[in-house]
Structures are given as C-alpha cells and as structure tokens.
Amino acid sequence: MRLKCSICGWVYDEEEGFPGGGIDPGTSWQDVPDDFRCPMCGAMKKWFQPFEE
C-alpha cells in the first residue's frame, strides 16, 4: 500500500519503508509509529491517505 501526504504529496510506500527515518522496508502503515511526521512538511500521520497511481 502507498499513502500520500495530503499537505505536500510525499508518498510512503510500505514496500520501501523509510529507512532514513528508521522505518524498515515492508513496514505496514499501521505499524508506523503514531508520532511519525512527513519528512518533507512535518504533517502528522493522520494527514496521509491511501494512494494509487
């Protein structure tokens, strides 16, 4: 699953994770810590929405 920040458009891909932020590849969105912030704009996790291209 991919999720897009509704503020800036940055995309979190569960397959890729976010190693730069300590989130391993394969980490499901529900397992991403609740205090996760968008690395581009600082938006809270609640501002991410499922996204498909």
46 belongs to a structural domain = no
**Residue 52: its pLDDT value, please?**
82
Q: What is the CATH number of the domain that holds 26?
A: 2.20.28.10
Order of strands, edge to edge, in the sheet holding 48-51?
Answer: 11-13, 2-5, 48-51
Tens digit of each residue's pLDDT (9 = 90 or more) over 4-53: 999 999 999 999 999 999 999 999 999 999 999 999 999 999 999 998 87
Question: What whole-number distance in Å separates Cα of residue 52 and Cα of residue 39?
Answer: 20
Number of helices (H), then strands (E), belonging to the chain: the values are 0, 3
What is the structure's pLDDT at 35?
97
Q: Long-range CB contacts (< 8 A, 24+ apart) of 9-13?
A: 10/38, 10/39, 10/40, 10/41, 11/51, 12/48
Domain membership flag for residue 39: no
Domain total of the chain? 1
Range of the domain at 9: 1-33
